[in-house]
Amino acid sequence: MDFQVVVLAGGTSKKLVPLVSKEVPKALLPVANRPVLSYTLEQLELCNLKDLIVVVEGGDAALRVGGWISGAYVDRLHVEVAAVPEDVGTAGALRAIAHHLTAKDLLVMSGDLVSDVPPGAVAAAHRRHDAVMTAMLCSPSVGGHSETGSSGGKEKTKKRHNVIGLDRTRQFLLHIATGVEVERDTRIQKSILRAVGQMEIHADLMDCHMYAFKRSVLQEILDKKDKFQSLKLDVLPYLVRSQLKSEVFLNGQSQAEENSNEKVFPENNHVMMSRILANASTPSFHEFYAMHPDGSAPARQTHKCCVYIADNSKYCARLNSIQSFSDINRDVIGEANHLSGYSFSAHNNIIHPSAELGSKTTVGPHCMLGEGSQMGDKCSVKRSVIGRHCRIGSNVKLVNSVVMNHVTIGDGCSIQGSVVCSNVQLHERVVLRDCQVGANYVVAAGSEYKGEPLARKEK
């Protein structure tokens, strides 16, 4: 397809502390005992998109991610790992690797996306429309998660949404506002409504951070707008606004009228609202590309911003918060287990042949027990993932939790709704509820914690 693929794999995201560390950057966080980045790489491999640049923030993190890729995907993918400075943002990361980008079109995607939507479908839609940008959207209800999950701590964040305007064919992106509370009014320029004739306003679509770009246009924007840091917050809105400022749409209207706003009220804070202008003869948005304002002959082609909307049956979620980390782990061994790559037992769980279970220990459905792990007597595991080479004592209860590799859990512990990172030691009778325990941490016998992150201070 002549697409160059860029995977933005992040670094040690502050949102994911204490799960991430210098030893475990975001791209290597485990989902069903596989690094989250593997889900993106395997979808690309299935679409025969095998020439990739994986961009990692920070030199140490890049070395770790590169080492894992070279071992796991040798002879399968051609991957170049590029290190960029931390906190440069997604647009800044692309600006930093601009000299590597040579193809006509780019497919840019987040390395934290866990999805069964084929990236090739987004690339094909982009080519079909000859677009300058195509964004993949999906329904958050597919994965059950909004884009801003709570951090898992005591503070609950307000739920924010994208407000997205589409043409009536749902192929063209006409308006995008991010992080909006749906209870508030959304303002749309009158010139946009006049130009498109009809627009659907959605607050029920998630931006999946998978974009196709015409490279020349993207690089021109990154060069000119050197303060742009984010693809989603800076580049996309700029492209969407500028496609509606051509002479085809303004057609001699005054700048004052162009800048006036029409207030659009979401219906019952809800999913969709159509706005139909009085002039029913106005051509649809995409028809403007094929005619002059007088309808006589093809006009100078303006750039198109398009969307690919994933089918509702598809799974799509981003690992961008502690809550989403837990949710996605549960989903991939539960309702979305086709993504895991594992064969499930008759009991609908995954227990590695080398794992050992004590007397009267039960591992329920939608659970995973990794290679070489051992459990004592009378343990109960429900809707949880346990990593490799863990040592778990007797009378231990694990519910809705993720336990990473080489963890030691003493007798009588109770762990619910928590994440326990690698090499942690929990002594006897520890009780954890909605906690995150960072790597190498030791929890004293009899301790009880609720809704707290526990971690060693990094030197």
* 310 and 439 fall within a common domain: no
Q: pLDDT tens across 63-105, in order?
A: 999 999 999 998 899 999 999 999 899 999 999 999 999 999 9
Rounded mean pLDDT of the chain? 83
* 83 and 181 fall within a common domain: yes
251 inside domain: no
Nearest to 446 by CA among 430, 425, 435: 430
Nearest to 276 by CA among 202, 203, 196, 204: 196
Strand partners, 189: 261
* 309 and 400 fall within a common domain: no
* 27 and 133 fall within a common domain: yes
CA distances from 324 to 36, 75, 123, 141, 143 (A): 12, 32, 27, 13, 10
* 351 and 399 fall within a common domain: yes
* 194 and 78 fall within a common domain: yes
For residue 379, what are the domain limits?
A: 344-454
41 inside domain: yes
What is the total count of domains within the chain?
2
Pick the residue with more confidence: 249 or 182?
182
What is the structure's pLDDT at 57?
A: 96
> Count of CB atoms within 10 A of residue 252's CB?
6
* 61 and 203 fall within a common domain: yes
* 351 and 306 fall within a common domain: no
Residue length, the chain? 459
CATH number at residue 11: 3.90.550.10
Kind of pairing, strands 173-180 and 161-166? antiparallel
CATH number at residue 368: 2.160.10.10
77 inside domain: yes
Strand partners, 398: 381, 415
Is pLDDT above 90 for 264?
Answer: no
Nearest to 243 by CA among 221, 271, 215, 224: 221
Q: pLDDT tens across 345-394, in order?
A: 999 999 999 999 999 999 999 999 999 999 999 999 999 999 999 999 99
Q: What is the pTM of this model?
A: 0.85
44 inside domain: yes
